[in-house]
C-alpha cells in the first residue's frame, strides 16, 4: 500500500471518529428535546441521527478496526454512504447542517482514496 493512501485512510479514520462523537452529541441533544416535546419532526430527526450514528459505527469497523483495510472494505464503506445519501441528506426531515457537512466530507474523502487506489 502506498504511504499516501495509508495516510489518507488514517485521516479518514480521524474524520469518522470525530463525526461519530459529534453525531452522538446531537443524538443526546435531540433525545433531551424529544423528552420535552412530542413533535413528530424531532422524533424523525432523532431517528435519522441514530441511523447516521449506526452507519458511522459500521464505517469505523470496516475501515479503522483493520490495520490495513482492503479495497473491498473501502468500496463497501463507499457503497454504504452512497446508498444512504438520499435518505439522510435530501429527504425530510433535514439533518442538522453540521451532520450533513460531516457526511459530505467523509463521502469526498473516501472517494479520493478510491480514486487514488
60-69 confidence digits (pLDDT tens): 999 998 877 8
Cis bond leading into 93, ω under 30°? yes
Give the phi and the psi of residue 2 in degrees, each rounded to 5: -70, 145
Averaged pLDDT, 6-30? 94
Q: How many domains does the chain have?
A: 1
Give the percent of the chain with pLDDT over 70.
Answer: 98
The domain of 41 spans 3-116
Helix (H, G, I), strand (E, B) or coil at 91: coil
- Which tens digits make up the pLDDT trace of 32-75? 999 998 888 899 999 999 999 999 999 999 999 887 788 899 99
Report the C-alpha gap between 22 and 48 in whole angstroms.
14
Give the percent of the chain with pLDDT over 90.
Answer: 68
Amino acid at each position: 500500500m502506498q504511504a499516501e493512501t495509508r495516510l489518507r485512510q488514517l485521516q479518514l479514520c480521524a474524520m469518522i471518529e470525530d463525526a461519530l462523537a459529534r453525531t452522538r452529541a446531537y443524538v443526546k441533544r435531540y433525545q433531551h428535546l424529544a423528552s420535552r416535546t412530542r413533535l413528530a419532526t424531532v422524533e424523525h430527526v432523532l431517528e435519522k441521527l441514530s441511523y447516521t450514528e449506526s452507519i458511522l459505527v459500521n464505517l469505523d469497523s470496516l475501515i479503522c478496526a483493520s490495520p490495513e483495510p482492503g479495497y473491498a472494505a473501502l468500496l463497501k464503506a463507499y457503497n454504504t454512504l452512497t446508498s444512504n445519501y438520499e435518505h439522510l441528506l435530501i429527504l425530510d426531515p433535514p439533518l442538522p447542517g453540521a451532520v450533513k457537512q460531516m457526511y459530505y466530507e467523509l463521502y469526498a474523502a473516501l472517494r479520493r482514496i478510491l480514486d487514488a487506489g
